[in-house]
């Protein structure tokens, strides 16, 4: 029997780092990922998709956001989609699940809001042991109830849960909804499909985090994924295969530039980054020192230039200092009061780090822009 294991779709997620346009693209692609999962199930002969929580990013979503994933799943009638609430969308009064219980969902979509075992498919091969979350931060182990869940003997027992199995997050939030590491063993599970962590992780042969199907943060440098699980008969070991479902690669890049010459290298590096830069979400951090002229070039070539090649791009140039050169200043004027003002600003900008220094550096850049505009007259 083959199933697809996925989780953390986080439909409706808001991306604060980017502008509305980029955000719309990123949001839309998360919904597209559902179609890619459905297609993977069809292509690989999987009859069921287990979604281990966090289908939605928030508890109170709009009707449209609530319907978006359901309508996508409806497009794959041969696949049975099993959903449980996670910590982002726990089953609370008035939450998404409560709302779904009050309406009709596609026939191929099964929602599990009670920790009660249910047959998978026609129940002839496997039973599902769901561990739905009823609050954002449950103190206990949501999978503990699985211990008492009896299933017909000789059939596969598959757990579906959402929570952390160890402290993934340094801020300590991972300590909640904590799942026992050996739950699969103690509860005689043939496979425990977990959700919560956005990267794909194998805990043991029978316990996996599928990761999110579409990347949503920097730091992993990987596309979104799901798992294709080929279940062996009870007691045997399953074959777990990672499949790509994501479109965007979230890449962080740190570069240092000193002088106009380094700008060529930077631009080249950015252009080399990916054959399909339109599939890259870039976080570029630039440090170093540039002349006024080069700084202006940087803005023109990188910020207004190559950045447009990427799906979305965030540039942090706060570490990029401006150091006006003699040529910069001569370009502004050889003498005269504008030059005198420029000299004075440069002096402040070269002083010890302070607000005044930052302001003076920025003032020089403004002067450069105004000067360039004058030159262009």
CB closer to another protein out of 14 and 239? 14
Residues 35, 36, 42, 47, CA torsion sign: negative
Closer CB to another protein, 159 or 324, in the complex: 324
Going by C-alpha positions, the residue among 171, 156, 101, 97 that lies closest to residue 124 is 156
Quote the least distance from Cβ 131 to another protein, whole Å. Answer: 21
Report the residue number, 95 or 117, with the smaller CB distance to another protein: 95
CB of 55 to another protein, least distance (A): 14
Q: Taking the complex as a whole, how short is the minimal distance between the CB of residue 60 and another protein, in angstroms?
A: 4
- Residue with smaller CB distance to another protein, 100 or 226: 100
Q: What is the contact surface with another protein in residues (CB under 8 A)?
A: 12, 14-16, 19, 23, 57-66, 92-94, 99, 333, 335-341, 344-345, 358-360, 362-367, 370-371, 373-374
- Of 81, 71, 29, 110, the C-alpha closest to 279 is 29
CB of 355 to another protein, least distance (A): 8
What's the min distance (Å) between Cβ of 326 and another protein?
Answer: 17
- Hunting for tokens 């099993």 — which residue is that? 82
Task: Please give the Cα distance from 217 to 281 (Å, whole number).
Answer: 9
CB of 2 or CB of 136, closer to another protein: 136
Shortest Å, Cβ 223 to another protein? 24
With 0-12 CB in 10 A as exposed, 13-18 as middle and 19+ as buried, what is 340? exposed
* C-beta closer to another protein: residue 118 or 138: 138
Residue closer to another protein (CB basis): 63 or 122: 63
DSSP 204: E
CA distance 357 to 53: 50
Q: Please, where are the H alpha helices in 88-199?
A: 96-101, 183-186
Work out how close the CB of 130 gets to another protein at its nearest, in angstroms, rounded to a whole number. 21
Rounded CA gap, 18 and 151, in Å?
A: 48
Side by side, which strands form the sheet with 249-258? 249-258, 280-290, 312-322
| CA–CA separation, 198 and 216 (whole Å) | 8
Q: Which positions ≥6 away from 170 have C-beta within 8 Å?
A: none
């Amino acid at each position: 029997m083959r199933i697809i294991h996925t989780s953390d779709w986080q439909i409706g997620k808001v991306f604060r780092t980017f502008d509305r346009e980029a955000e719309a693209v990123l949001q839309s692609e998360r919904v597209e990922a559902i179609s890619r999962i459905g297609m993977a199930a069809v292509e690989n002969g999987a009859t069921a998709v287990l979604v281990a929580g966090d289908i939605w990013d928030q508890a109170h979503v709009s009707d449209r956001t609530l319907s978006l994933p359901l309508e996508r799943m409806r497009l794959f009638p041969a696949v049975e989609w099993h959903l449980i609430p996670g910590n982002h969308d726990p089953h609370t009064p008035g939450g998404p699940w409560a709302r779904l219980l009050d309406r009709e969902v596609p026939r191929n979509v099964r929602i599990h809001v009670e920790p009660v075992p249910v047959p998978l498919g026609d129940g002839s091969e496997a039973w599902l042991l769901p561990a739905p979350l009823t609050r954002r931060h449950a103190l206990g182990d949501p999978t503990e109830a699985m211990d008492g869940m009896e299933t017909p003997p000789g059939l596969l027992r598959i757990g579906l849960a959402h929570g952390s199995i160890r402290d993934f997050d340094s801020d300590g939030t991972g300590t909640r909804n904590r799942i026992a590491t050996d739950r699969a063993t103690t509860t005689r599970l043939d496979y425990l499909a977990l959700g919560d962590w956005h990267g794909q992780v194998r805990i043991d042969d029978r316990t996996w985090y599928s990761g999110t199907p579409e990347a949503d943060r920097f730091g992993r440098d990987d596309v979104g994924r799901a798992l294709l699980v080929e279940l062996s008969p009870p007691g045997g070991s399953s074959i777990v295969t990672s499949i790509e479902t994501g479109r965007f690669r979230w890449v962080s890049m740190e570069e240092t530039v000193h002088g106009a010459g380094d700008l060529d290298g930077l631009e080249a590096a950015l252009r080399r980054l990916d054959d399909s830069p339109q599939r890259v979400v870039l976080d570029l951090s630039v440090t170093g020192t540039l002349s006024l002229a080069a700084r202006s070039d940087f803005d023109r070539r990188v910020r207004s230039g190559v950045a447009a090649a990427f799906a979305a791009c965030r540039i942090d140039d706060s570490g990029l200092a401006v150091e006006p050169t003699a040529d910069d200043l001569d370009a502004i004027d050889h003498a005269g009061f504008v030059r005198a003002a420029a000299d004075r600003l440069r002096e402040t900008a070269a002083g010890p780090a302070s607000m005044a220094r930052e302001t003076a550096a920025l003032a020089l850049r403004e002067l450069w822009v105004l000067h360039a505009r004058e030159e262009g007259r």
